């Protein structure tokens, strides 16, 4: 093959032959110097005679042909795939992603895959591979990243690939699951999705999923929580029923809202004493209605009007949006302790001189404005179908515009514990079954509470229990901040009458609306296997609590 140097020499020779011809004729010959085309032709013919250039040109042509063939084949493959395969992509931030992972783990052919990603994150815990207890850290298996798996579903070939794409500007990659089924019928896809959803719901019947907002203004799945039974929460009579029935009624009334042109949204504002069960009842309602909970913290740094609107418009059609401590949006930097301990004033009595609808909320560092919050809740960008629960201990600082019907349709005040609540929480603690806890006290027949002698039978019943109570251990050990019997210790089995009588005695020692339910729960936790002692010691404990509060 001729070298580059040879080519250059030949070109120089050709150029000199031009000059020579011109010099011989003494005139500018039109055949040699007048036509640039002719010059080019001469150069081209010389180039063609150079074997190296010929080889290069050949390579160029072959390369182009290969590239054209590659592109042709690739578009042919795409058309072939489109014609014979159904392809679906499931984004990790969509519920369907979870359904598909759950469904995948149940496929018999999935059990033969040889390359998986192991996760102890309970979100991925699936039956078949792991314990159904969602809290346990059982390993579960999901498709490895960028790995393709061939499976068979109803005698159809399918390929599953987990793809991870970088999130522009985001802090983490975004995953998706690609499913390709060999089928001409699109119905197969809906069949798979329906089946996956059914399996997922079945698997989730004991738990609910909690989502939080990320700094990318997206919702990310935070955790799976066990559902809390409604019966575990003791509110004043009628309050729980009101909330649950109203929420159920709302979810079933979409058509009613549409016919009347009313936005299909419902808002509940739960306010009042801390530790009175506001968050707990929301968690229980979410479980009862099988809805995911989306938690939004308005005081989160970086949250501004636009990102709030983006987040709220990105909510699924049926879910619970939880804005805890909504007052934080109005008082950035204000700690709970720095305000009044309990905001128990009613909407009717509270001052109307608070911030008005046009004012900016929060301090100067806040990027959220009140109008931004209001618009996100019920403006044009707000989605429909969601249930908003907002909680606060400081009702007074909220702007009236936020609390008006349409935004907060039901406003409920939660109070400190009543005697009724004290009695019921005692029963729930020591009942041998939920049924027993709900049974009425009909033991004496005379309508009077039946008093139990705590000093005789009680002590004998509990004497067999291992005792670790602070009072008894105090001489041996340094004072304990918290104690209680082991969870393995069992409380004595009480009859309905005994339980009811003890609950009455316990409630009689608890002052009306002075202590929180959380405090009562904390007290009972110290005596979880010794109900008689719980009753015997409650008066002393109450006295101590009240004394501490008065300081």
Ligand X SMILES: Nc1ncnc2c1ncn2[C@@H]1O[C@H](COP(=O)(O)OP(=O)(O)OP(=O)(O)O)[C@@H](O)[C@H]1O
| Binding-site ranges for ligand X (CB under 6 A) | 233-235, 274-280, 391, 393, 414, 425, 517-518, 521
Answer whether 273's CB lies under 8 Å from 415's CB.
Answer: yes
Contact 382, 313 (CB under 8 A): yes
Q: Shortest Cβ distance from residue 225 to ligand X (Å)? A: 13
Shortest Cβ 298–ligand X spacing (Å): 14
How many angstroms separate the CA atoms of 98 and 105, rounded? 11
Q: Which is nearer to ligand X, 219 or 389 (CB)?
A: 389
Instruction: Quote the least distance from Cβ 342 to ligand X, whole Å.
Output: 10
Residue 432 or 521: which CB sits closer to ligand X?
521
Closest to ligand X by CB, 34 vs 434, is 434
Cross-sheet strand order for the sheet of 410-414: 219-226, 207-213, 293-296, 320-323, 387-392, 266-272, 410-414
As measured in angstroms, the least distance from the Cβ of 270 to ligand X is 8
Residue position matching structure tokens 């393995």: 488
The dihedral through the CA atoms of 3, 5, 7, 10 has a sign that is negative
Report in angstroms how near the CB of residue 414 gets to ligand X at its nearest. Answer: 6
* Contacts (Cβ under 8 Å, ≥6 apart) of 410: 242, 243, 246, 266, 267, 268, 269
Choose among 463, 473, 534: nearest CA to 499: 534
User: Which of 234, 382 has the CB closer to ligand X?
Assistant: 234
Residue number with the smallest Cβ distance to ligand X:
277
Tell me the closest approach of the beta carbon of residue 360 to ligand X, in angstroms.
26
- List, in sequence order, the alpha helices (H) in 343-399: 370-378
- Distance in Å, CB of 472 to ligand X, minimum: 26
Measure the CA–CA gap between 525 and 92, rounded to whole angstroms: 40
Pick the closer one to ligand X by CB: 125 or 393. Answer: 393
Torsions phi, psi for 60 (to 5 deg): -60, -45
For ligand X, the closer of residues 517 and 534 by Cβ is: 517
In the complex, what is the shortest distance from the CB of residue 454 to ligand X, in angstroms, rounded to a whole number? Answer: 24
Q: SS3 for 207? A: strand
For the bound state, the minimum distance from the C-beta of residue 350 to ligand X, rounded and expressed in Å, comes to 18
Q: Which is nearer to ligand X, 203 or 234 (CB)?
A: 234
Looking at the Cβ atoms of 180 and 228, the one nearer to ligand X is 228
Q: Which is nearer to ligand X, 196 or 425 (CB)?
A: 425
Under the phi-then-psi rule, with left for phi > 0, alpha for psi from -120 to 50, and beta for the rest, what region is 328?
alpha
**DSSP bridge partners of 86:** 181
Percent helix, percent strand, percent coil in the chain, to nearest 5? 45, 15, 40
Nearer to ligand X, 274 or 355 (CB): 274
Place of tokens 């009455």: 504
From the CB of 341, what's the least distance to ligand X, in Å? 11
How far is the C-alpha of 263 from the C-alpha of 406, rounded, in Å? Answer: 9
Q: Quick check: 174 and 93 in contact, CB under 8 A?
A: yes
């Amino acid at each position: 093959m001729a070298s580059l140097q040879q080519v250059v020499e030949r070109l120089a020779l050709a150029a000199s032959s031009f000059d020579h011809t011109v010099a011989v004729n003494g005139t500018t010959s039109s055949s040699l110097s007048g036509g640039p085309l002719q010059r080019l032709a001469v150069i081209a013919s010389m180039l063609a005679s150079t074997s190296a250039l010929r080889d290069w040109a050949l390579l160029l042509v072959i390369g182009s042909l290969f590239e054209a063939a590659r592109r042709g084949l690739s578009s042919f493959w795409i058309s072939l795939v489109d014609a014979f395969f159904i392809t679906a992509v499931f984004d990790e931030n969509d519920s369907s992603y979870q359904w598909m992972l759950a469904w995948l783990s149940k496929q018999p052919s999935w059990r033969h895959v040889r390359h998986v990603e192991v996760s102890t994150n309970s979100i991925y815990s699936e039956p078949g591979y792991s314990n159904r207890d969602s809290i346990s850290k059982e390993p579960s298996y999901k498709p490895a990243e960028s790995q393709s798996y061939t499976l068979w579903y109803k005698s159809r070939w399918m390929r599953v690939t987990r793809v991870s794409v970088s999130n522009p500007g985001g802090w983490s990659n975004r995953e998706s699951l690609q499913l390709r089924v060999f089928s001409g019928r699109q119905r197969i896809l809906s069949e798979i999705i329906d089946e996956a959803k059914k399996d997922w719901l079945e698997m989730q019947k004991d738990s609910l999923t909690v989502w939080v907002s990320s700094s990318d203004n997206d919702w990310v799945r935070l955790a799976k929580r066990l559902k809390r039974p409604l019966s575990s929460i003791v509110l004043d009579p009628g309050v729980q029923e009101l909330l649950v029935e109203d929420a159920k009624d709302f979810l079933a009334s979409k058509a009613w809202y549409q016919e009347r042109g009313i936005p299909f949204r419902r808002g509940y504002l739960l306010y009042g004493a801390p530790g009175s069960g506001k968050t707990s009842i929301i968690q229980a309602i979410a479980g009862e209605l099988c809805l995911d909970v989306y938690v939004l913290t308005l005081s989160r740094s970086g949250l501004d009007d636009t990102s709030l609107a983006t987040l709220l418009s990105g909510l699924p059609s049926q879910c619970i949006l939880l804005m805890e401590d909504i007052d934080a949006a109005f008082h950035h930097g204000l700690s709970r302790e720095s305000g009044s301990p309990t905001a128990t004033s009613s909407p009717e009595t509270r001052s109307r001189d608070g911030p008005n609808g046009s004012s900016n909320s929060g301090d100067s560092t806040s990027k959220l404005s009140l109008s931004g919050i209001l618009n996100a809740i019920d403006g044009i960008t707000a989605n429909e179908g969601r249930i908003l629960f907002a909680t606060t201990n400081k009702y007074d600082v909220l702007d009236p515009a936020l609390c008006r019907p349409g935004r907060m349709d039901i406003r409920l005040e939660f109070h400190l514990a009543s005697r009724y609540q004290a009695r019921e929480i005692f029963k729930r603690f020591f009942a041998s079954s939920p049924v027993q806890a709900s049974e009425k006290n009909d033991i004496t027949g005379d309508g009077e509470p039946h008093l139990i002698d705590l000093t005789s039978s009680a002590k004998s019943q509990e004497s067999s229990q291992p005792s670790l109570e602070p009072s008894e251990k105090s001489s041996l050990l340094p004072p304990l901040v918290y104690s209680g019997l082991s969870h393995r210790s069992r409380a004595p089995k009480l009859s309905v009458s005994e339980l009811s009588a003890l609950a009455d005695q316990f409630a009689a020692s608890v002052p009306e609306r002075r202590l929180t339910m959380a405090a009562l729960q904390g007290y009972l936790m110290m005596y979880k296997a010794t109900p008689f002692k719980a009753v015997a010691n409650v008066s002393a404990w109450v006295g101590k609590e009240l004394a501490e509060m008065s300081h």
